């Protein structure tokens, strides 16, 4: 299960990282869209909560190796989902974090490569 989830995370983060570096996505605009659309915020929150809870249900593994990173992503996704649903205005607090889309793209690529190593190379 860990390998399978790592592959999914790797591909998602690699694709988002490449898109951010190419200028296809702009995280500031995405946060603006979230704050302008209650329906989009709700649907994203529901999706994040569902994905997080699935990971927590099937991969709530607290060990001292790389697989704990998957568990942490699951918990982060569930918490993010709850925040988006219950406190949609809290998104405005994070708007300043996304000023540099290129830096976020590099970070996403690095995370994608890390999970790609664990998912495809081990």
Q: Give per-residue pLDDT as tens, 8-45.
A: 999 999 999 999 999 999 888 888 888 889 999 999 99
State the total domains in the chain.
1
pLDDT at residue 16 in the model: 97
pLDDT at residue 122 in the model: 85
pLDDT at residue 91 in the model: 80
Question: Using CA atoms, how far apart are residues 17 and 28, in angstroms rounded to an integer?
Answer: 15
pTM assigned to the model: 0.90
pLDDT in tens, 76-120: 999 999 999 999 888 877 777 888 889 999 999 999 999 999 999
pLDDT at residue 84 in the model: 92
Question: Using CA atoms, how far apart are residues 116 and 122, in angstroms rounded to an integer?
Answer: 9
pLDDT at residue 3 in the model: 97
Domain of residue 30 covers 2-121
């Amino acid at each position: 299960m860990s390998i399978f989830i790592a592959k999914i995370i790797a591909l998602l983060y690699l694709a988002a990282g490449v898109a951010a570096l190419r200028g296809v996505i702009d995280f500031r605009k995405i946060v603006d869209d979230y704050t302008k659309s209650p329906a989009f915020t709700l649907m994203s929150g529901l999706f994040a909560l569902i994905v997080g809870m699935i990971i927590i249900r099937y991969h709530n593994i607290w060990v001292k190796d790389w697989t704990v990173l998957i568990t942490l992503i699951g918990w982060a996704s569930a918490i993010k989902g709850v925040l988006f649903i219950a406190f949609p205005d809290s998104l405005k607090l994070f708007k300043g974090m996304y000023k540099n889309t290129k830096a976020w793209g590099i970070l996403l690529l690095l995370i994608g490569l890390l999970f790609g190593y664990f998912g495809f190379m081990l």
